[in-house]
Amino acid sequence: MARGKPTILVGITGGIGAYKSCELVRLLQKRGFRVKVVMTEAATRFVTPLTFRTLTGEPVAVSLWADEPESKVHHISLAEEADVMAIVPCTANVMAKLAQGRADDMLTTTALATEAPLVIAPAMNTHMWRKETTRRNVEVLRARGAVFVEPGTGELACGDVGEGRLADVRIIANAIETEALRSRDLVGVHVLVTAGGTQEPIDPVRFIGNHSSGKTGFAIAEEAARRGARVSLITGPVSLPDPFNCEVVRVQTALQMRAAVLARFDTTDVVVMSAAVADFRPAAMSADKIKKGDAPEAIELERNPDILAELGERGSGVLLVGFAAETNEVVTNAQAKLEAKRVDLIVANDVSDPSMGFGTEHNKVYYVTADGVDETPVLGKRTIARDLLDRVAALLQSRKG
Ligand code: C5P
């Protein structure tokens, strides 16, 4: 991640709207950003790299092979330098490549390598924009967190009139600026995230558990780290890889999760308890695997400590976010939890619908605070992570102010 002036990497692809990117580069510079440009070969047919080199005072990357050698692999250094990557204009072809994860030129390779948020401003003929394949690519990229600046309607270069015109460059610049601010709004903040479900052992091979996949918590941890936070992710057993730039602590039981949370609580500014912590554990764990013939008639259970409620009781000033998975009276139950556990924000969702929530990629949530309730549409878990952290950043800001 770049330091100093935020760096916007503008990727330009081969469409007539490429000439408008000159204006966009200027606008971004006026707003205080450092701008670097990467172009596809096709884009250079519309505007020359020299134009952008002159505007930005920076080398323009076009080929994976022909550019001057730099100290680091060029597409990787570009990818790392970017606070935001914006592809303006983005053709249907490049969008399809991005959706598939192809990396066959400098621009798409850099886009695949970067951890920076991606802003995409498509521009193409109306029929191409409306084609089902294009619509699907937009949805795939959106689900991965890309921000789209939708094309406008009007006369197109091909003579058709309809949607497909590159959006107004000021609107594109605004979207880029929003992402750039977001990319640093948690610098200096220590965020502790819990994820996944806990497993409470019955014997060495059996446990009481739940269906939590950990996806939401991992997405929150990853997004918080991307925005500059120091992140500790405490997770129950899940089959997800460690997110980048996070301290990851893998635990099994609620008691282990509690210990890992408390060990870090003193340095923490925000706790997001997205873990599905088991409320009960077997009172005693059998040291050996219980044989079929020896099956007990009942398993005696003991209450697990409520980690979140315990943090709330401390009244420490740490911003506390809880989750509530409900099957009925979603908002009423969440409001009760908000008060009982003394937390600042509850993210509530309805788990009675099998197409959402546990294990799926999507969810519809209610944000419940003392000030009221906000309901979202069905969103991807990455979008929920972003939206939630926007709220966390705003709450932290309002506390400072
Ligand atoms: O009461 P309920 O389990 O629905 O509350 C859910 C919220 O409380 C979640 O944020 C969850 O991570 C947290 N929790 C906890 N310790 C428990 C049970 C739930 O911190 N033992």
- The answer as to whether 152 is a domain residue is yes
Which ligand 1 atom minimizes the distance to the CA of 333? 4
Cα(388) to centroid(ligand 1), Å? 18
For position 211, which CATH number holds?
A: 3.40.50.10300
Q: How far is the CA of 275 from the centre of ligand 1 (A)?
A: 7
| Same domain as 264, residue 205 | yes
Q: Do 232 and 279 belong to one domain?
A: yes
Percent of the chain, pLDDT > 90?
81
Task: For ligand 1, say whether the CB of 307 is within 6 Å of any of its atoms.
Answer: yes
Question: Measured between alpha carbons, how far is 344 from 393 in angstroms, rounded to an integer?
Answer: 13
In whole angstroms, give the CA distance from residue 28 to residue 7: 10
Q: How many whole angstroms separate alpha carbon 364 and alpha carbon 380?
A: 9
Does ligand 1 have an atom closer than 6 angstroms to the CB of 254? yes
**Which pLDDT value is given to residue 139?**
93
b/e 193-211 (16+ beta carbons within 10 angstroms → b): bbbbbbbbbbeeebbbbbe
Q: Residue 303: what pLDDT?
A: 97
Q: What is the pLDDT of residue 190?
A: 98
pLDDT averaged over every residue in the chain: 93
What are the residue numbers of the active site? Answer: 158
User: Could you tell me if residue 174 is inside a domain?
Assistant: yes
Has residue 2 been placed in a domain? no
Q: Which of 129, 152, 182 is the last residue of a domain?
A: 182
Mean pLDDT in residue range 376-386: 89
Residue 1 lies in a domain: no
- Closest by alpha carbon to 173, among 202, 194, 149, 196? 149
Q: How many CA atoms, within 13 angstroms, populate the side-chain half-sphere of residue 148? A: 19
Say whether pLDDT at 72 is over 70: no
> Is residue 216 domain-shared with residue 286, that is, in the same domain?
yes
Whether 295 maps to a domain, the answer reads yes
Nearest ligand 1 atom to the CA of 254 is 21
Q: Do 141 and 17 share a structural domain?
A: yes
Reply yes or no on whether the pLDDT at 343 is more than 60.
yes
How many structural domains are present in the chain? 2
Specify whether 217 is located in the same domain as 279: yes
The CA-based angle 173-14-114, given to 5 degrees, is 60
Domain boundary among the residues 138, 153, 182 is at: 182
Residue 71: predicted pLDDT: 53
Q: Does any domain span residue 40?
A: yes
What's the confidence (pLDDT) of residue 85?
Answer: 98
Q: What phi and psi, each to the nearest 5 degrees, are found at residue 200? A: -110, 110
Looking at per-residue pLDDT, the higher value among 353 and 84 belongs to 84
Q: Is 372 left (phi over 0), alpha (psi -120 to 50) or beta?
A: left
- Is residue 104 located within the same domain as residue 219? no
What is the rounded distance in angstroms from the CA atom of residue 27 to the CA atom of residue 268? 38
Q: What is the tens place of the pLDDT at every residue in 152-208?
A: 988 888 888 888 999 999 999 999 999 999 988 999 999 999 999 999 999 999 999
Domain endpoint, select from 124, 149, 182: 182
What pLDDT, on the 0 to 100 scale, is given for residue 144?
85
Q: How much is the average pLDDT of 6-21?
A: 97
Residue 358 has a pLDDT of 66
Nearest-CA residue for atom 5 of ligand 1: 324
* β-sheet with 246-250: strand ranges across: 246-250, 230-235, 190-195, 270-273, 319-326, 345-350, 365-369, 372-375
Ligand 1 within 6 A of CB of 323? yes
Q: How large is the average pLDDT for residues 224-252?
A: 96
Same domain assignment for residues 233 and 150: no
Is the same domain home to 367 and 336? yes
Distance 386 CA to ligand 1 centre (A): 22
Residue whose C-alpha is closest to residue 262's, from 215, 212, 254: 254
pLDDT recorded at residue 67: 53
Pocket of ligand 1 contains residue 273 by CB under 6 Å: yes
CA 355–ligand 1 middle distance (angstroms): 22
Q: Check residue 344 and report its DSSP letter.
A: S
The predicted structure's pLDDT at residue 248: 98
Residue with CA nearest ligand 1 atom 2: 324
User: CATH code at 136?
Assistant: 3.40.50.1950
Q: What is the mean pLDDT of residues 130-149?
A: 94
Q: Is residue 145 part of a domain?
A: yes
Residues sharing a CB contact under 8 Å with residue 149, sequence separation 6 or more, in sequence order: 88, 119, 120, 121, 167, 171, 172, 175
| Same-domain status, 178 and 202 | no
CA distances from 76 to 82, 111, 338 (A): 10, 10, 44
Residue 388 and residue 273 share a domain:
yes
What band does 1 get if pLDDT is binned at 50, 70 and 90? very low
Average pLDDT over residues 71-94: 90
Pair 72, 43: CB distance under 8 Å: no
How many CA atoms, within 13 angstroms, populate the side-chain half-sphere of residue 108? Answer: 20
Q: Which of 251, 272, 273 to mutate to test the pocket of ligand 1 (most atoms within 8 A of CB)?
A: 273
- Domain of residue 343, residue span: 190-400
Query: Same structural domain for residues 241 and 318?
Result: yes
Minimum mean pLDDT range among 62-76, 202-216, 235-249, 310-324: 62-76
Cβ of 275 less than 6 Å from ligand 1 = yes
Please check the confidence at residue 236 and state whether its pLDDT lies above 50.
Answer: yes
Residue 295 has pLDDT above 60, yes or no: yes
Within this chain, do residues 332 and 390 fall inside the same structural domain, yes or no? yes
State the Cα–Cα distance between residues 307 and 264, nearest whole angstrom.
13
Query: In this prediction, what percent of the chain has a pLDDT beyond 70?
Result: 97
The CB density around residue 145, as the number of other CB atoms within 10 Å, is 18
Please answer whether residues 36 and 10 qualify as being in contact, where contact means their C-beta atoms are separated by less than 8 angstroms.
Answer: yes
b/e map 272-292, b = 16+ CB within 10 Å: bbbbbbbeebbeeebeeeeee
What does the pLDDT average to over 262-275?
A: 98
